[in-house]
Amino acid sequence: MVEQVAEQSEASIALVESRAPIAVTEPVEAPPVNLKAPELYINRELSHLQFNVRVLEQALDESHPVLERLMFLLIFSSNLDEFFEIRVAELMRQLKYSRETVGPDALHPQVVMKRIGEICSAHVERQYKILNDIIFPELEKEDIHFLRRRDWDDEQREWIKVYFEEKVLPVVSPIGLDPSHPFPRLVNKSLNFIVELDGKDAFGRESGLAIIPAPRSLPRLIRLPDNLCDGGENLIFLSSIIHEFAAELFPGMTVEGCYQFRITRNADLTFDSEEVEDLARTLRGELHSRKFGDAVRLEVDQRTPEALISFLLQEFSLDEAHTYRVDGPVNLTRMMALRDLVDRKELRWKPYTPGMSKKLKQGGVFEVLRIRDQLLHHPFQSFAPVVDLLRQAAKDPKVLAIKQTLYRTGVNSDIVNALVDAARSGKEVTVVIELRARFDEESNLQLAGRLQEAGALVVYGVVDFKTHAKMMLVVRREEGKLVRYSHLGTGNYHSGTARLYTDYSYMTSDEDVGEDVHKIFQQLTGMGKILRLKKLQNAPFTLHSRMIELINREAKHGKDGHIIVKVNGLTEPQLIRALYRASQAGTKIELIVRGMCRLRPGLEGISETITVRSIIGRFLEHTRVYYFGNKGEPEVFCSSADWMERNMLNRVETGFPLYGKLAARIKQDLDLYLADNSHSWELHSDGSYTLNQPAKGEALISAQDALLSSFAS
């Protein structure tokens, strides 16, 4: 390199000395970056797993009460169950039928599966270490005891034996394995035991093996009577009881070993939309099959002999890569029952009462909305005004019609009760129910039946496009004309999750918004061309293209541009490429992405001005907010849609603009989340996350705590 520079210098001197004219050349521009290059994208499934790992990390956060730390550990199990039931199942299906597809990251499903196995194995092992070495000992200090069989005294053992004989024995059905009793078809995620036997039964059979399916009707955690213990809360696992008295199920035979296991199956519902004549009937037929889909994971007690594990793997057509040996109960999610068994409020989150404005408390909702729009931030502000709008509409003789979308609600919720009352009182009630809300299909079928019996018109949206929009429309006659009242939200119409998820509710009597909502309902219940909207953006028609348009506008502002996006997932490639181009133009981009994120921040020359953070705290962050600075004239949207392919291109979604003080409030909330240095995690370009912590002398900021303090009473 030095010799080359020297040669160039000598050549330059020679040219000067000869006074020959020097040709001036234009600087060569670097070739444009290929924004579709696979290395610019994080794999979706691996990013999803990273979110679950961040949830698990909450079990180690000593600022959380100990029972809440246990809940985070159990939520990790629940999330992982769904990940295997849906995401891993899909990858395995692709590999099985040689229909592999790759995303923008270009990772082959085989490679993704291998990495999933490595990550899950490491963190499941870590999960049980946290449970056994940290959480259980801390619960012991608080006088909450999970008694192992070796800890039972004689009096306790006698009580447990009676419990087994009266509650377990009458409903359990052990299955000996022989030619007339082949391996049973076990239900998805059910607790089971494989038993090694010695001896012959009454018919002279000698198979050596049996299966004990734990009855699903029985609780997995049983609390011992206080008079049998030395104080505190004393609990035992159903698995311990079955293990202890397994011999009672095989009289005259010797139980050589008894080991718990659990199988996870493909739980995704699939059907050919072109063959569907009646969506409800088709779903009813598919729901049963969910319990018995192809096996995707085997969890076993780590003490299980290898020969038995090999036997189980063969029965479920799995290999070693899909096996998880655990040091404890295989069905940890069922430990969530502890919340109902142990009343220790001091070990839970401090209770709070969501805030509510005096006007909404005192007056009718219609009177309030005639004067001013309302923006509610749940759970910090009460969900009650949304329910009150519907309740008052159901009873108000001036109300002529109610239209509502329902995604995850519950059969007996306050919202549904109000819709039933409205239909029975003679109002025109139209409800668009999305039957395919994953794992809520059965509940939604029951919900549809209840509403239809009350006289409501129930439709199921569009077969190939899930209806994910959160909309309510009330039509009221006032002074000789019809006035529309609208509710639009980022979350579901569910009072329970409104106490657990952060979401926005927008309530308005704005004529343009009401007309737009009416048109979207027309598209869902009727047939016709796309209807032009005045204020709302809706997927799958305008929302995606409008977001790209606004990103591109900020890119034109260069360093004066500013974008803030808060969503649950960011995976859609066209949006990511638009953000990359804006970053290359110098635009400041701040992303708050709770879960999956395919975008790589901090890449030189590509995403240097982009930061990505994830907030994990007491409440599940669920708001979808888009902020575009527009050189001092910001445009702000709330939405039901994440920045994912399914939301932008394959679902019915809404994005609704906010103005003035409401938009300013959204910006304040976003700034608070961006300042969080206690429960926020920073994404790095390599796909890893680190927990943000306050610098020396810097105040500790928790966005959720600050919002709770400002609104809750």
Sign of CA pseudo-dihedral 52, 53, 58, 59? positive
Distance CA 548, CA 626 (A): 12
94-99: long-range pairs with CB below 8 Å, 24+: none
- Here the tokens at position 89 are 């199942």
* Three-state DSSP class for residue 113: helix
- 637 Cβ contact partners less than 8 Å away, ≥ 6 residues apart: 537, 625, 626, 655, 656, 657, 658
CA distance 401 to 485: 11
Residues 6 or more apart whose Cβ sits within 8 Å of residue 137: none
The answer for residues whose C-beta is within 8 angstroms of residue 710's C-beta and 6 or more apart is 380
Tally of CA atoms within 13 A in the half-sphere of 173 that contains its CB: 6
φ, ψ of residue 676 in degrees (nearest 5)? -55, 125
Catalytic residue among 468, 487, 494, 679: 468
At 552, the amino acid letter reads N
What would the two tokens of residue 112 be?
């993704």
Token digits for 365? 């909702």
Q: Is the peptide bond before 31 cis (omega within 30 degrees of 0)?
A: no
- Quickly count: other Cβ atoms within 10 Å of residue 123's Cβ: 18
Show the beta-strand stretches assigned E in 426-469.
428-433, 457-459, 466-467
Nearest to 196 by CA among 303, 297, 298, 292: 303
594 is in an annotated binding site: yes
494 assigned binding-site residue:
no
Contact indicator for 165, 191 with CB cutoff of 8 Å: no
Q: Copy the structure tokens of residue 125.
A: 């092992």
Cite the DSSP H helix spans in 174-326.
Answer: 238-244, 279-290, 306-315
Q: Is there a binding annotation on residue 148?
A: no
Q: Is 438 annotated as a binding residue?
A: yes
Closest to 427 in 3D by CA, of 451, 401, 447, 405: 401
Q: Where are the alpha helices (DSSP H) in 335-440?
A: 338-341, 358-362, 365-371, 384-395, 414-424
> Is position 557 annotated as part of the catalytic site?
no
Taking the alpha carbons at both ends of the chain, their separation in whole angstroms is: 71
- Chain-centroid distance, C-alpha 327: 27
In degrees and rounded to multiples of 5, residue 125 shows phi and psi of: -60, -40
> Residue 440 and residue 481: Cα distance in Å, rounded?
39
Task: Give dist(CA 258, CA 506) in Å, integer.
Answer: 56
What are the catalytic residues? 468
For the annotated binding site for ATP, the residues are 79, 501, 594, 622
For the annotated binding site, the residues are 79, 408, 438, 501, 594, 622
For the annotated binding site for Mg(2+), the residues are 408, 438
